[in-house]
């Protein structure tokens, strides 16, 4: 069976970190999200994965090449952003018409049991089966109305609060029959959520499958941090220390923490809970790091404090600098010594911050 991963979005809600890397290559517990997805597809015997790419297409092609995890990798490279439905239509030739195929939004992390979803497709022979996840507040998502036989009779995209047909949301995972290609107009951008699913629901060709395994989307910065935190909590091992990590004996860990290879941590630093530290990161002495993700190669100088933030690749946080909850520091940013960034400050890649920032703002 083939799988198509939608990987071409701009990820504007994850700026400034998505200015320099596609959303699907954001590290989740120090491994790119797309690697988690590909591994799970390899496990169920998928033979070929097509990546539907546009924004920063080269980053995918360089990293994944022609095969990965024993699967063939091909690329459907759009000339302009075709959006979710248009991207599926654009990949028609690569996918072919032989058999049903799996489609995934690339910006989700899930442990769904794909075999149950595929079984449901066999039983119903639907044009489309959609995986559904129950949430408390469905207002950010597409929601469905389901009959007892799991037929979708209504699909509503981002219904206003209180008006969603149910709390079952579109998890961004579908099994599609090649007949779907006849339902999507070619040659222009098409949103599958706005244009195609509501019609399929009316025509009775659309079925749903509720699942309860882990599912998270990482569309926004807060979601991204939360996904890392929740997954770190699910790890059996509470303290991961990577190969050749150089940790002073006076470092105080507050588990859970995940430290990648070649990381250096200086004396009396306090690390955790929920500190996820990428490869080659350096923490000086008496640094405080909690509830944060630090991308590879960043430097947190002596006495710096980072709480509830994401620190981009190769960024430098100066001595005694204080980075507060909700801050997102872009790749290769420099925060000078003793600077304080208040809550929710975001800093674009390669900027240098020389004055403290007292209120939530974006530094571009
Ligand atoms: P935002 O700009 O933050 O909304 O993110 P996004 O551009 O990724 O859009 P969205 O979250 O709605 O996308 C859902 C999934 O579809 C993601 O995996 C995107 O990479 C993918 N996607 C969105 N638009 C396109 C497109 O035009 N082409 C392709 N190939 N994939 C897309």
The CATH number of whichever domain residue 197 belongs to comes to 3.90.550.10
Query: Are 159 and 306 in a shared domain?
Result: no
> Cα of 157 to ligand 1 centre, how many Å?
15
Which among 178, 193, 222 is the end of a domain?
222
Which residue(s) pair with 104 in the sheet?
A: 5, 173
Q: Half-sphere exposure of residue 198, counting CA atoms within 13 Å on the CB side?
A: 11
pTM value? 0.94
> What local confidence, expressed as pLDDT, does residue 73 receive?
98
Report the alpha-carbon distance of residue 257 to residue 238 in Å, rounded: 6
Find where tokens 């640094």 sit: 287
Which of 9, 23, 37, 223 gets mutated to test ligand 1 (max ligand atoms within 8 A of its CB)?
Answer: 9
Give a yes or no: residue 139 inside a domain: yes
CA of 84 to the centre of ligand 1 (A): 7
Are 218 and 239 found together in one domain? no
Active-site residue list: 158
Residue 177 Cα, ligand 1 centroid: separation in angstroms? Answer: 22
User: Which atom of ligand 1 lies at the shortest distance from residue 108's CA?
Assistant: 18
The answer to whether position 162 is within a domain reads: yes
Nearest CA to ligand 1 atom 1: 11
Give the closest residue (by CA) to ligand 1 atom 23.
9
Indicate whether 227 belongs to any domain. no
Phi, psi of 98 (to 5 degrees): -70, -45
Ligand 1 site residues (CB inside 6 A) read 6-13, 23, 52-54, 78, 81-84, 87, 105-107, 219
What's the pLDDT score for residue 162?
85
User: Could you tell me the residue range of the domain that residue 142 belongs to?
Assistant: 2-222
Q: Give the separation between CA 332 and CA 312, rounded to whole angstroms.
A: 7
Quote the pLDDT of residue 143. 95
Domain at 253, CATH number? 2.160.10.10
How many structural domains are present in the chain? Answer: 2
**pLDDT 10s digits, 143-197:** 999 999 999 999 999 988 888 999 999 999 999 999 999 999 999 999 999 999 9
Nearest to 85 by CA among 163, 190, 171: 190
- Nearest atom (ligand 1) to Cα of 22: 20
| 150 and 6 within one domain | yes
Shared-domain flag, residues 213 and 254: no
With respect to residue 229, please indicate whether it lies within any of the assigned structural domains: no
Q: With contact defined as beta carbons under 8 Å apart, do 216 and 226 qualify?
A: yes
Nearest ligand 1 atom, CA 83: 27
Instruction: Please list the residues that pair with 253 across neighbouring strands.
Output: 271
pLDDT of residue 161: 84
- Residue 148 and residue 65 share a domain: yes
Q: Give the number of other CB atoms < 10 A from CB of residue 66.
A: 9
Three-state secondary structure call for residue 203? helix
The residue ranges of the chain whose pLDDT is under 50 are none
- CA 244 to ligand 1 center in whole angstroms: 37
CB atoms within 10 A of CB 311: 30
Q: Which of 3, 8, 19, 104 to mutate to test the pocket of ligand 1 (most atoms within 8 A of CB)?
A: 8
165 & 271 share domain = no
State both tokens at 11.
């990820």
45 by DSSP, 3-state: which? coil
Q: What are phi and psi of 14, to 5 degrees?
A: -105, 15
| Angle at CA of residue 140, ends 199 and 108, nearest 5° | 90
Predicted pLDDT of residue 221: 85
Q: Name every residue whose Cβ is closer than 8 Å to that of residue 186 and which is 6 or more positions away in sequence.
A: 89, 90, 92
C-alpha 8 to ligand 1 mean position (Å): 6
Do 39 and 170 lie in a common domain?
yes
């Amino acid at each position: 069976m083939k799988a198509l991963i939608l990987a071409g979005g701009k990820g504007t809600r994850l700026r400034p970190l998505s200015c320099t890397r596609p959303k699907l290559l954001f590290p989740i517990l120090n491994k790119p999200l797309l690697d988690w997805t590909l591994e799970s597809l390899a496990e169920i015997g998928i033979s070929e994965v097509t990546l539907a790419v546009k924004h920063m297409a080269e980053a995918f092609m360089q990293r994944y090449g022609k095969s990965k995890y024993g699967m063939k990798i091909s690329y459907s490279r759009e000339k302009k952003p075709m959006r979710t439905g248009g991207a599926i239509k654009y990949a028609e030739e690569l996918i072919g018409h032989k058999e049903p195929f799996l489609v995934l939004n690339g910006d989700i992390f899930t442990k769904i049991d794909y075999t149950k979803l595929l079984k449901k497709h066999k039983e119903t022979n639907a044009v489309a089966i959609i995986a559904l996840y129950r949430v408390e507040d469905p207002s950010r998502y597409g929601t469905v109305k389901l009959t007892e036989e799991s037929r979708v009779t209504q699909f509503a995209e981002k219904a206003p609060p209180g008006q969603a047909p149910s709390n079952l949301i579109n998890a961004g995972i579908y099994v599609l029959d090649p007949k779907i290609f006849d339902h999507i107009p070619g040659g222009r951008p098409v949103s599958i959520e706005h244009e195609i699913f509501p019609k399929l629901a009316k025509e009775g060709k659309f079925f749903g499958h509720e699942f309860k395994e882990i599912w998270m989307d990482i569309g926004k910065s807060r979601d991204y941090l939360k996904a890392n935190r929740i997954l770190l909590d699910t790890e059996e091992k509470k303290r991961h220390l990577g190969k050749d990590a150089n940790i002073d004996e006076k470092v105080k860990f507050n588990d859970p923490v995940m430290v990648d290879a070649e990381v250096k941590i200086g004396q009396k630093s306090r690390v955790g809970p929920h500190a996820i530290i990428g490869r080659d990161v350096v923490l000086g002495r008496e640094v405080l790091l909690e509830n944060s993700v630090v991308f590879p190669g960043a430097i947190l100088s002596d006495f710096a404090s980072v709480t509830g933030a994401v620190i981009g690749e190769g960024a430098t946080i100066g001595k005694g600098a204080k980075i507060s909850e909700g801050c997102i520091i872009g790749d290769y940013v420099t925060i000078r010594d003793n600077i304080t960034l208040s809550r929710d400050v975001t800093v674009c890649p390669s900027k240098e911050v020389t004055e403290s920032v007292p209120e939530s703002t974006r530094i571009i």
